[in-house]
Amino acid sequence: MDAEAKLALVADQMHLEPAEEVAPAPTSLRSPHAVAACGHSPAELRAAVEAGVVETLTNGNGNPGRSLEAKKNSLGIYNAAMPGGKRMPFLKTMLTSACERDCYYCPFRAGRDYRRATFKPDEMATVFHQMFKGGLAQGLFLSSGIAGGGMRTQDKLIAVAEILRRKFNYSGYLHLKIMPGAERDQVWRAMQFADRISINLEAPNAERLSSLAPRKVFFEELLRPLQWAEEIRQTQPAHRTYNGRWPSTVTQFVVGGAGESDLEILSTTAYLTRQLRLARSYFSAFSPVPDTPLENHAPENPWREHRLYQASFLFRDYGFDLEDMPFDAKGTLPLDVDPKLAWARANLAETPIEINRADRRDLLRVPGVGPKGADSIIAARRRGRLRDLRDLQKIGVLAARAAPFILIDGRQPVRQLALW
């Protein structure tokens, strides 16, 4: 099987694995291939042909654009939103789609009747480097099924990274997966070459994980490597990494596959964000895969995934704590309102925040005010007092959303809002 056929086989199931491309919007609002809507130019088309990834410049309809886009989709190239907001085409693939584990939700689980593909490390590095040189992909997210144990598989992933960095002098973006069972030294080596590493917890605690992936060991195999990554960042100099910076760390949860509550997921997320400085937790609403033990389990409401993203951003960027979350008695977030608005309705309706005096922490509690908006308000106040909702609107605040929860020079702007 040639490299292109292998990439296509793996790509068929890779949309189930969130990476940098995922926007925090309910998956029901995205088509399965919405993340793969790559823009491309005639120069890219020529590069694709030269790289041998696309055979001709046109399809049968004389429509070269659709031909290349479909080709990119089929190989696992997605238009990714990178940390910092930059967008770029990104190959998301696996070193092997064979796996000796049997996680209940996973399309790659052992024993499932599915055609597998395996790359050797130098083959994977070479094919990606060709795509990179041809302008088809500017970044790589590399995961793998487990074959021959987590340590052996991790060594192969690290080998791909080492070939790319040392042999091909690749200096682009690399997101490398850490395998369950990898050792501390392997995490350290992966961190030498990667811009981001990830270890998927899948569930918020050991008990819930046993319902999803009974052969994974929550603390020793999954949480411990996340702790090692932070210990390494804290205690060792970064000058031995390829670019002098330690990579960021992320994780993923399967949401709604194990009967877990939002409180359980967000308790673990808060710990990861505060104690281990994870850049981000990804949430993937459970969706049953045919021919797996959970194939008859109901799919999770994608709005739950969306609310969990919003709550996690409140921890990471807005200074909210777990106690601020509007859980009900069962530890569930409301689906019909975002958690920040729910908090504001309960806490700010009677005691609105004075926009001309509030500190940054309080400004961030106001719906419609994000980190940039809070900084803009503080900067604008140095130039003069803010007088009405138009002043807020001009500096990028969602004034109508903020209006019920603020005072401007001691006056509630809600009445003014009605005049708008």
CB 99 to ligand SF4: min, Å: 3
- Answer for the pair 194, 174: CB distance below 8 angstroms, yes or no: yes
Separation between Cα atoms, residue 289 and residue 274, nearest integer Å:
34
Among the candidate windows 73-81, 103-111, 126-134, 242-250, which touches ligand SF4 by CB under 6 A?
Answer: 103-111
DSSP per-residue letters across 103-146: -TT-TT-TT------B--HHHHHHHHHHHHHTTS-SEEEEE---
In this complex, which beta carbon is closest to ligand SF4, that of residue 104 or of residue 327? 104
DSSP bridge pairs for 140? 91, 174
CB 6 to ligand SF4: min, Å: 16
Among the candidate windows 4-12, 28-36, 104-112, 337-345, which touches ligand SF4 by CB under 6 A?
Answer: 104-112
Please pick, from the candidates 76, 145, 225, 339, the single residue that binds ligand SF4 as defined by CB under 6 A: 145
CB 18 to ligand SF4: min, Å: 13
The verdict on 213 binding ligand SF4 (CB under 6 A) reads yes
Separation between Cα atoms, residue 177 and residue 362, nearest integer Å:
38
Among the candidate windows 19-27, 100-108, 313-321, 362-370, which touches ligand SF4 by CB under 6 A?
Answer: 100-108
DSSP code for 403: G
CB 177 to ligand SF4: min, Å: 9
- 362-381 mask for ligand SF4 (x: CB under 6 A)? --------------------
Separation between Cα atoms, residue 367 and residue 354, nearest integer Å:
14
Among the candidate windows 31-39, 102-110, 238-246, 398-406, which touches ligand SF4 by CB under 6 A?
Answer: 102-110
CB 100 to ligand SF4: min, Å: 7
In this complex, which beta carbon is closest to ligand SF4, that of residue 47 or of residue 91? 91
Beta-carbon contacts of 149 under 8 Å, excluding residues fewer than 6 positions away, are 181
DSSP bridge pairs for 89? 79
Comparing C-alpha atoms, which of 25, 28, 63, 71 is closest to residue 47? 71
Give me 403's structure tokens: 């209006």
The angle subtended at Cα 260 by Cα 336 and Cα 223, nearest 5°, is 120
State the residue for tokens 């509030």. 358
DSSP per-residue letters across 200-265: --BSSSHHHHHHH-TTS-IIIIIIHHHHHHHHHHHHS-GGGSTTSSPPEEEEEEEESSS---HHHH
Beta-carbon contacts of 402 under 8 Å, excluding residues fewer than 6 positions away, are 355, 366, 367, 368, 369, 392
Separation between Cα atoms, residue 68 and residue 411, nearest integer Å:
57
CB 295 to ligand SF4: min, Å: 14
Give me 386's structure tokens: 């803010």
Please pick, from the candidates 10, 106, 194, 406, the single residue that binds ligand SF4 as defined by CB under 6 A: 106
- Strand, coil or helix: what is 301? coil
Among the candidate windows 21-29, 96-104, 255-263, 311-319, which touches ligand SF4 by CB under 6 A?
Answer: 96-104
Please pick, from the candidates 10, 54, 99, 266, the single residue that binds ligand SF4 as defined by CB under 6 A: 99
In this complex, which beta carbon is closest to ligand SF4, that of residue 99 or of residue 389? 99
In this complex, which beta carbon is closest to ligand SF4, that of residue 80 or of residue 146? 146
CB 369 to ligand SF4: min, Å: 39
The verdict on 146 binding ligand SF4 (CB under 6 A) reads yes
- 109-128 mask for ligand SF4 (x: CB under 6 A)? x-------------------
What type of residue sits at position 190? A
Among the candidate windows 99-107, 155-163, 233-241, 284-292, which touches ligand SF4 by CB under 6 A?
Answer: 99-107
- The residue count for binding ligand SF4 (CB under 6 A) is 9
In this complex, which beta carbon is closest to ligand SF4, that of residue 42 or of residue 299? 299
Beta-carbon contacts of 215 under 8 Å, excluding residues fewer than 6 positions away, are 101, 102, 103
In this complex, which beta carbon is closest to ligand SF4, that of residue 94 or of residue 314? 94
- 323-362 mask for ligand SF4 (x: CB under 6 A)? ----------------------------------------
Please pick, from the candidates 78, 108, 193, 246, the single residue that binds ligand SF4 as defined by CB under 6 A: 108
**Which residues make up the interface to ligand SF4 (CB under 6 A)?**
99, 101, 103, 106, 108-109, 145-146, 213
